[in-house]
A and B are shown apart, each in its own frame.
Chain A
Amino acid sequence: MISLGQACIEVQFVTKSYGKTVALDDVSFTIPCGERFALLGPNGAGKSTTLKLLVGLLKPDTGTIRINGYEPFSSEAKSILGYLPEDATPYRTLSVRENLEYIAALRGVKNVREATDKFLDELSLREYERAKVGKLSRGNMQKLAIALALIHKPRIVLLDEPLNYLDIPTQERVFKMLKSLDSTQIVSTHIMSIATRLTEKVIMISRGKVVWNGTIDTLKGLEQGDEPIESVVSRLMTNAG
C-alpha cells in the first residue's frame, strides 16, 4: 500500500552529462506517494534521461536519487518500479507470451501464468501470444511493452510516451488501466491531452533544468484569454530558454 504524503521519489541536485553535453543540470524535485505527474519538456530537454536515472539504468554524476528511500539500482527499488521507455522493443526472439513469462519470472512474480493471461486479455494480445515479437506490428509491440512494464504490479510507474502507436480504442483501454493502478506515476509526454487525462501535476524541464512545477489546474490558470494549454506550456518552456 502507498502511504500518501510520504515522498516516493526524491531527486536532489542531480547533474548528468554525456561527454561534454549536459543533459540534466542541478535538478531537484519530489514526488509524494500516490501522486501522478506529467514530465513535460521540449525535445532534448532531459526527460528520458530523468526517467533512466530514476529507474537506475544510469548513474547521476552528482546529486542523489531515492526511490521510497532506496538507491534506484537497489533490488528494493527495482521491485517497486515499473518502466516503459519510448519506442520500447521487447525481446525479438521470444514470443509475446514468452516475453511476459520471462520478465515475470525475472521479477519473481508469484503467479506468472495468471499475470500473463491477465495482460494478454486486457490488451487484446491473446491472438498473438505465440507470435514472434520481431514480426509484430508496432502497435502490438507497444501493447506488449506496456504489459511488460506493469506485469509485477509496480508501486511506482515511469512511462515515456506510453500511448505512441496505439489505436484509439486501445488508448482508452490503457487510460483506464493506468488510472486504476494504485501507484505513483510519472508520465513523460509531448501531448497535453494525455498529460491532463492521466495526471494532476506537472514537472516541466527545459535544457536540463526544472523550469516549472505545479498542478495542471494552476497551469490552466495561466491561460490568457482563449489560449490553449499547449500555448501556455510553450510559453513557459520558451521563456525558460
Chain B
Amino acid sequence: MLAKLVKFVLLTRFSKPLLGLVTFFLIYDIVIRAVTTGNSPEFSGGFSYYAVGASIFFITVSLLFGGLFVLKSDRDYLLTLPLRRRELSLSLFTAQFVGSGITILFLFGFYLAGAGTLQDTIVLSADLAILAAVVTALGVVSNILETWLRAGLAILLGVWCLSSVLGNPFTPVSPFTGHLLYGSIVLFGFSLVVVPVALRELAYLELGSMRSLLRATSSEYKRTMSFAGKSPVRAIYSYHLSFLELVGRVNLAGSTSYRATRVKMSTVLIVSGALATVYLVLAGLSQFADLLTRPVVIVLPVLMGIITLVLMSQGTFSNERGWLAFTAMDPAVYLRHLLLSRAVSTLAITGPFAGAFIVLALRRVPAAANSSIVLLVTVTSASILATYVIARLGAVQQVKEEGMMPGQFDLKQFLAIIPTYIVIILIVVSEISFVASIIIAGVLGILSLLMMLSKSVWRGIAYRLTERGFI
C-alpha cells in the first residue's frame, strides 16, 4: 500500500518526464563523481566556504520560505481517505523531498569535491542525503512556526553553521570543513530532531498546516495604497513601486512555497541598504577585505542575478489576473509597464549593492566595476528577457490558492531554469572581463528594449497565458 501511495502522491505532483529528468541528473552526478574519485582536492578554504555557504543558503531559505507540496484535491479527497497516518506521512515527505530537498543532491559532485579518499566520499554521501532530508523537513516545519520564530531560528542556524568556517567542528555543516566525524554526528543528531517533527506534521496535515492555510479569517493591511486620481500607467507604477511582490514557486532554492505576498518597498530598501553597507565595510574597508573581496565580488552578483530572475520571471505573472488587466487596457501596453515597473522594483534589492560595488570600484577593487554594471544593466535586462521566455514556454503557474500547488509540476517549469543558467554564465564572463561586461550589458539592454517596444510580442504573451488557463 505504501508503494502505491508514494507513486500516487508523486505522480499527482510531478509529471513523468520531470521525474525522469531528475533521475537522470542524479545518476549523472553519481557517475561523474565516481569517474573523478581520487582526483579531487582535499578540503580547502575555497571549497569549504562555498560548501558551507550553499548549505546555509538551503537551510535558511527552506526554514524561512518553506511550503507544502499539497494540491487542492488533497484537501478534498486524499486527506479524507482512511489511510494509515504513517504511510500518508512518508508519501508526502517523499514528495517534499523530490520537490525541495533533492536540490542538494544535484550538487552531489560539487559537495564531494572536498572528499579526497573513498572513505570520505562514503561518509560525505551519507551526510548529503541527511542534509537533504533536513532541508526537506525544515521546509515542512516552517509551516507551523510564526514568522518571527522562523526568522529567529534561521538566524541562529545560520550563525551556528557559519561558525564551522571558524573551526567549530560541532555544526551540521562541519563535514564540509574537514571535521567529518564530529560534523556527521551533529548533522545526524540534528536530523533526528527535525525529521520526526516534519513527519508528524505531515501525518496530521489537515489538523495543522492545512488548517492554518485555509482558515477564512480576513487579515487586514495596516497600510493600503490609493489609486484614486491616477492615470492607468501611473497606477501600475504606483502599485509595483510601493510594494515588492513575492510570489513563491516550486523548487525556489529548496522552497516549495506557493504564496503571494508583498513587502513595503521602504522595508526592502532599508534591509538591502543595510546589508550592502555591511558588505561594503567587510569587503572594502575591514581587515577581512582580502578574504572576502575577491570571491564575494563575483558570487554576490550571481546570487543577486538568481534572486532577480526568479522574482521577475516567476513572480511577474504568477499573481497576474488576465481577466482584469488584459480586458482593462491593451495587454501590450499593460505588460510593458508591468515589466518595467517590476524591473525597477527589483532594483530596490540590487541597487544598494550596485552602489557598494561602485564605491569598491573607486577603491580599485578588481571586478567591482563589472559587478555594478552587471547589477544595474545586465541582470535587469536579462530578467525582462527571461520573463518573456518563461511566459512564452508556458512555464509559469498562476497562484490561485494560498499554499497550494496550482497544478502538477512539469518539465516545462523545470526547464524554465535554463535562462537562469545562461544569465549566470553571462554574469561570470562579465566578472572576468570589463570589456565583456560592457558588451553583454549593451546587447542584453538593446534586446530587452526592442522586446519591450514590440506590441505583438506582448499581445502574443497575453493570448498564450489565457490559453494556458491564466484568467
A interface residue numbers (CB < 8 A to B)? 18, 52, 55-59, 73, 75, 78, 81, 83-85, 88-95, 97-98, 101-108, 112-113, 116, 128, 130-132, 134-137, 140, 148
Q: Known contacts A57-B322, A130-B220: does B400 contact A89 (CB below 8 Å)?
A: yes
- Report yes or no: B235 in contact with A134, Cβ–Cβ below 8 A: no
Q: What residues on B are CB-neighbors of A89 within 8 Å?
A: 321, 400
Closest 7 CB pairs of A and B: A105-B235, A131-B218, A101-B227, A105-B227, A106-B328, A112-B228, A130-B220
Within 8 A of A (CB), among B209-255: 216-221, 224-232, 234-236, 239, 243, 245
A134 cross-chain contacts in B, Cβ below 8 A: 260, 402
A-B contact pairs, 10 of them (CB 8 A): A52-B466, A56-B327, A57-B463, A73-B330, A81-B327, A89-B400, A102-B225, A102-B227, A106-B334, A148-B324
Decide: B322 and A137 in contact? CB cutoff 8 A: no
Do residues A83 and B459 form an inter-chain contact, with CB atoms below 8 A?
A: no
> Which residue of chain B has the shortest Cβ distance to A86 in the bound complex?
B471
With CB as the reference atom, state the residue of chain A lying closest to B332: A73
Cα–Cα distance between A216 and B102 once the two chains are bound (Å): 59
Give me 9 other A-B pairs in contact (C-beta within 8 A), A57-B326, A95-B220, A135-B402 excluded. A56-B326, A78-B330, A85-B323, A91-B319, A101-B226, A106-B324, A107-B328, A128-B218, A132-B221
**Contact of B462 with A by CB under 8 A:** yes
The answer to whether B399 and A104 have CB atoms under 8 Å apart is no
Which residues does B use to contact A, with CB under 8 Å?
Answer: 216-221, 224-232, 234-236, 239, 243, 245, 260-262, 319, 321-331, 334, 399-400, 402, 459, 462-463, 466-467, 471
Q: How far is the CB of B428 from chain A (nearest CB, A)?
A: 34
**Chain B residue with the shortest CB-CB distance to A96:** B218
Q: Roughly how many angstroms separate A58 CA and B470 CA in the complex, as a whole number?
A: 11
List, in ascending order, chain A residues with CB within 8 A of B230's CB. Answer: 105, 112
CA distance A97 to B221 in the complex (A): 11
Q: A98-B225, A102-B235, A130-B224 are in contact. Are A18 and B328 (CB under 8 A)?
A: no
Tell me whether B323 and A88 are in contact (CB under 8 A). yes
- How many angstroms from the CA of A131 to the CA of B217 in the assembled complex? 9
B319 cross-chain contacts in A, Cβ below 8 A: 91-93
Chain A's closest residue to B236 (CB) is: A106
Interface centre among A91, A92, A103, A132 (most CB of B within 10 A): A92
Contact across chains for A135 and B218 when beta carbons are under 8 A apart:
yes
Q: Is the CB of B228 within 8 A of A58?
A: no
- B contact residues around A88 at 8 Å (CB): 323, 471
CB <8 Å contact, A106 and B232: yes
CB distance from B335 to the nearest CB of A (A): 13
- Shortest Cβ distance from residue B334 to the other chain A in the assembled complex, whole angstroms: 8
B228:A105 contact, CB within 8 angstroms:
yes
Using CB atoms, name the residue of chain B closest to A52: B466
In whole Å, how far is A76's beta carbon from the nearest beta carbon of chain B? 11
A201 to B90, CA, bound (A): 55
Complex formed: what's the CA distance from A48 to B322 in Å? 14
Instruction: Establish whether residues A112 and B229, one from each chain, have CB atoms under 8 Å apart when the complex forms.
Output: yes
Q: Complex: how many Å from CA A116 to CA B224?
A: 14
Selected from B218, B245, B322, B325, the residue in CB contact (under 8 A) with A93 is B245
| Cβ contacts under 8 Å, B471 to chain A | 52, 57, 85, 88
Other-chain contact of A131, B220, B325, B330, B399 (Cβ < 8 Å): B220
Task: Return chain A residues, CB-CB under 8 Å to B227.
Answer: 98, 101-102, 104-105, 112
Whether the Cβ atoms of B226 and A92 lie closer than 8 Å is no
A140 vs B219: C-alpha distance when bound (angstroms): 14
In the bound complex, do residue B217 and residue A135 qualify as a contact, i.e. CB atoms below 8 Å apart? Answer: yes
B467 touching A18, Cβ below 8 Å: yes
Residues in A with CB closer than 8 Å to B234 are 105
State the CA gap A136–B220 with chains docked (Å): 10
Query: By the criterion CB–CB under 8 Å, are B323 and A93 in contact?
Result: no
- Tell me the complex Cα distance, A85–B221, Å: 27
CA distance A140 to B217 in the complex (A): 12
Q: How far is the CA of A113 from the CA of B227 in the complex (A)?
A: 9
Is A132 a contact partner of B324 (Cβ separation < 8 A)? no
**Nearest Cβ on chain B to A136's Cβ, whole angstroms:** 6
Docked complex Cα distance between A94 and B236 (Å) = 13
With A and B bound together, what is the CA distance between A99 and B227 in angstroms?
9
With a 10 A CB-CB cut-off, give which of B227, B232, B462 has the most chain A CB atoms: B227
Q: Is the CB of A90 within 8 A of B321?
A: yes
Q: Is the CB of B219 within 8 A of A93?
A: no
Q: Which residues of A contact B220 (CB under 8 A)?
A: 95, 130-132
Q: Are B218 and A132 in contact (CB under 8 A)?
A: yes
Residues of A within 8 A of B219 (CB): 131-132, 135
A16–B374 Cα distance when bound, in Å, is 44
A2 vs chain B, min Cβ distance (A):
20
Distance in Å: Cβ of A101 to nearest Cβ of chain B: 4
Distance (whole angstroms) from the CB of B240 to the closest CB of chain A: 11
Q: What is the CA–CA distance of A58 and B218 in the complex, to the nearest angstrom?
A: 34
Report A111 CB to chain B, min CB distance, Å.
Answer: 8
